[in-house]
Amino acid sequence: MNDPTTSAIAAFVAGLALALLLAVPYIAVSYRRRGELGAGHALLALAFLVYCMALWTYTLLPFPDATPAWCAEHAANAMQTRPLQFISDIRREQATSTGTLLHNPAVQQAVFNVALFVPLGMFLRHLFRRGWLLTVVVGFAVSLFIECTQLTGVWYLFECPYRLFDVDDLITNTVGTALGVVAAPVLRLVPGQRISAPPSEPRPVTARRRLLGMAVDLLSVMLLGSLIGIPYALLVGLNNVSPVESVLLGNYVPALVLLYVVPLFGNGATFGQRVVLLRPVGPDGGKPAVWRMTVRFLVGSGGYFLLQGLSLLIDKHFDDVSSLLLLVSAITAFRPRGHRGLSGIIAGLQIVDSRVDAPTVILPRARSV
């Protein structure tokens, strides 16, 4: 982009949007591979997504108005195939400039192309545990893909290339990836990455984990509702979708499936609880009775979406009740001890780690001083 600040903002926003879409699978994979989430590991994963979006914004945007007149003027400059041409460019710029070498545009461009791929080498080496040779090869491949995308006008979406294919970019990008491999150990300094036990070992049931499971439930229902509702609305026409259909597809059907049907035919855990490896148990230590799961559904996340639907169909004041229910559920996930939440308290359920064979509630470990 012409404005680096605008590019940075666009990359950050796009990275957050992508993180929202990938949050549930990431949490599920993390709990099964690492046994827990880890705030530091999640932060690095988010940073990687934002970085991927930065590659997109800085190398492809802004899209031009590629008219025939524009193409006739710019198409001749589509390729630069001389290796190390940037050295000659630096000398030429320096010969006609009175500024220092750091102010030389050719130097700045070369340094930027190196720096742009340093994070890729760091993330591949540290976050994905790839070998140094494979990391460098991937860096070269990513750079080649970007250059070919620019050469073909985003794979022929535009009438002509609007960015220069530069073989020097391949060289500097690959060098940047290699430097990232060297700098990768710096990412070890980010706290919250170490796992506390082997992945198969049960972890304590904490308020943070309970809230994470609730958040996954809410997010999953909303995403599934969008996945069903938006194509349906486009198919029948936006003006032909009734409020009842909108509520059914957007709230009720996804909530019923993920928060009630999944527990009934599984181990009693909602979709979000399954993602964070939690499950409810009844007073006898086994899978809760159907009536208990029904009560849990009605006074838990299921009740929240039920009230949300009623606020759209009947009276907007139901929205205030749903917000109150959500707040009380969050508070009771902290207290009382056991982090049962409002629905667990009313339905008479305990929450345990799903890796526990016996129905023993695992209390939080004492923090080390």
Q: What is the DSSP string of 208-233?
A: HHHHHHHHHHHHHHHHHHHHHHHHHH
Q: What residues contact 172, with CB distance under 8 A and at least 6 apart?
A: 86, 110, 113, 114, 117
Give the three-state DSSP class for 88: helix
Share of the chain above pLDDT 90, in %: 53
Torsion angle in degrees (nearest 10) through CA of 233, 238, 244, 246: 50
CB 183 within 8 A of CB 114: no
pLDDT digits (tens, 9 = 90+) for 125-137: 999 999 999 999 9
Kindly give the interhelix angle for 167-183 and 105-122, rounded to the nearest 10 degrees.
50
Confidence at residue 332, expressed as pLDDT on a 0 to 100 scale:
92
Identity of the residue numbered 237: G
Using DSSP bridges, classify how beta strands 278-281 and 350-353 pair: parallel, antiparallel or unpaired.
Answer: antiparallel
Find the mean pLDDT for residues 142-167: 86
Per-residue pLDDT, 277: 96
pLDDT at 88: 86
**Of 228-242, 305-319, 348-362, where does the model show the most confidence?**
305-319
Query: Token pair of 358, please?
Result: 């016996």
Model pLDDT, residue 11: 84
Instruction: Give me the mean pLDDT over the 103-117 stretch.
Output: 90
- How sure is the predictor about 76, in pLDDT bands with cuts at 50, 70 and 90? low
For the stretch 222-263, pLDDT in tens is 999 888 888 877 777 767 777 787 777 788 999 999 999 999
| pLDDT in the model for residue 361 | 45
The whole model's pTM is what? Answer: 0.81
pLDDT attached to residue 299: 94
For residue 131, CA distances in Å to 137, 170, 182, 184, 262 come to 10, 20, 12, 11, 40
| Least reliable range by pLDDT among 40-49, 75-84, 284-293, 302-311 | 75-84
Predicted confidence (pLDDT) at residue 367 exceeds the cutoff of 70: no
Higher pLDDT, 178 or 106: 178
- The Cα 321–Cα 313 span in angstroms is 15
Query: What pLDDT sits at residue 78?
Result: 65
**Averaged pLDDT for residues 46-67:** 84
Once rounded to an integer, what is the mean pLDDT over residues 64-69?
A: 74
The conformation of residue 158, written as its DSSP 8-state character, comes to S
pLDDT at 369 over 70: no
| Cα–Cα distance for residue pair 171/176, rounded to 1 Å | 9
**Cis ω before 231 (30° cut-off from 0):** no
- Sign of the Cα torsion 15, 21, 23, 25 reads negative
Q: In this predicted structure, what is the pLDDT of residue 57? A: 86
Average per-residue pLDDT for the chain: 87
